[in-house]
Amino acid sequence: MLRQLRLALQTGCVTEPPPRAAELERVGERVRTEVARRFGRSLAIRQVDAGRGLGHRSSPSLLAHP
Q: At 6, is the pLDDT very low, low, confident or very high (cuts 50, 70, 90)?
A: confident
**C-beta neighbour count of 54 within 10 angstroms:** 6
What is the three-state SS of 7-57? HHHHHCCCCCCCCCHHHHHHHHHHHHHHHHHHHCCCCCCCCCCCCCCCHHH
pLDDT exceeds 60 at position 14: yes
60 vs 37, higher pLDDT: 37
Q: What is the pLDDT of residues 45-57, one digit of tens each?
A: 777 766 666 555 5
Predicted model pTM: 0.39
For residues 23 and 16, what is the distance between their CA atoms, to the nearest angstrom? 15
Q: Would you kindly state where each structural domain of the chain is located, as residue ranges?
A: 14-64
